[in-house]
Amino acid sequence: MENILEVKNVCKSFYQGSKEIEVLNDINLTVKKNTLISIQGASGTGKSTLMHIMGVLEKPTSGGIVFDGVSMTDKSDKELAVWRNEKIGFIFQFHNLLPEFSALENVMLPGMINDAWKDKGGRQSIRDKAESLLREVGLEDRMNHHPSILSGGEQQRVAIARALINDPVLLLADEPTGNLDRKTGEVVYELLIHLSRSRSKAFIVVTHDEELVNKSDCLFHLKDGGLS
């Protein structure tokens, strides 16, 4: 399947009090394997809303998402949660690591709730993969550290390793370096590009980083509910 993701006529409105605001109006987008897509837009234009819809975290008001050839429209919340965990890696501005777990355990968690690992060696295999990913993002010395004693850049690298544990077909990153200084942000972007390209992932990122935009296959602007 060449098309990883198809966004079809997606509209999204929210009620704020009794007022309905339309955030997305007839969005169409096709995402193929091994592409890097950047999305830009002013604050409040609906970038995060679109990312949540593409990541099947949120449902559109109308229109639909076809993921890996399968329509998401009639799936239950439970089915969507399973799909999300197995097929999509998320990296947010704030890493959302669980403070009570070590870096290694945080990376392992999405694997522990993915039945696909049962036939592939279970917990030990998940652990091996998590360790290998943490080495790949340069954190071989930090595996047993808890998030609170890691730097912002290190925490985000843990989040990247976590996003890759289930070998997702799509990576979604919503302003992943918005919380980091410029230099650390560049390191994180280089890593994201390298990891997604080396694994032929489709990678969609909301970013204002010019260098990343230059390396993208496609750049979209979100404005007045439309993508151009």
Ligand X SMILES: Nc1ncnc2c1ncn2[C@@H]1O[C@H](COP(=O)(O)OP(=O)(O)O)[C@@H](O)[C@H]1O
Helix (H) or strand (E) holding 78: helix 77-87
In the complex, what is the shortest distance from the CB of residue 11 to ligand X, in angstroms, rounded to a whole number?
13
In the complex, what is the shortest distance from the CB of residue 169 to ligand X, in angstroms, rounded to a whole number?
23
Smaller CB distance to ligand X: residue 54 or 165?
A: 54
Smaller CB distance to ligand X: residue 60 or 110?
A: 60
Other C-beta atoms lying within 10 Å of the C-beta of residue 2? 8
Smaller CB distance to ligand X: residue 19 or 183?
A: 19
Torsion angle of C-alpha atoms 164, 165, 167, 171, degrees rounded to 10: -30
Q: Which does 207 bind (CB under 5 to 8 A by kind): ligand X, Mg ion, none?
A: none
DSSP-derived secondary structure letter, 176: T
Smaller CB distance to Mg ion: residue 154 or 175?
A: 175
In the complex, what is the shortest distance from the CB of residue 87 to ligand X, in angstroms, rounded to a whole number?
22
Distance of CA 127 to the CA centre of its chain: 21
Structure tokens of 202? 């489709």
In the complex, what is the shortest distance from the CB of residue 60 to ligand X, in angstroms, rounded to a whole number?
13
In the complex, what is the shortest distance from the CB of residue 228 to ligand X, in angstroms, rounded to a whole number?
15
Q: Which does 43 bind (CB under 5 to 8 A by kind): ligand X, Mg ion, none?
A: ligand X
Residues at the site binding Mg ion, with contacts judged by CB under 5 A: 47-48
Q: Which does 46 bind (CB under 5 to 8 A by kind): ligand X, Mg ion, none?
A: ligand X
Are 180 and 152 in contact, with CB atoms under 8 Å apart? yes
In the complex, what is the shortest distance from the CB of residue 112 to ligand X, in angstroms, rounded to a whole number?
29
What is the distance between the alpha carbons of residues 161 and 150, in angstroms, rounded to a whole number? 15
Q: Which does 177 bind (CB under 5 to 8 A by kind): Mg ion, ligand X, none?
A: none
Full 3-state SS string of 85-97: HHHEEEECCCCCC
What is the distance between the alpha carbons of residues 81 and 38, in angstroms, rounded to a whole number? 25
Q: Which amino acid, one-letter code, is at 37?
A: I
Q: At which residue do the structure tokens 């609170």 appear?
A: 148
What is the number of the residue whose Cβ is closest to Mg ion?
A: 48
Torsion angle of C-alpha atoms 157, 160, 166, 172, degrees rounded to 10: 180
Residues at the site binding ligand X, with contacts judged by CB under 6 A: 14, 16, 23, 41, 43-49
Q: Which does 148 bind (CB under 5 to 8 A by kind): Mg ion, ligand X, none?
A: none
Q: Which does 49 bind (CB under 5 to 8 A by kind): Mg ion, ligand X, none?
A: ligand X
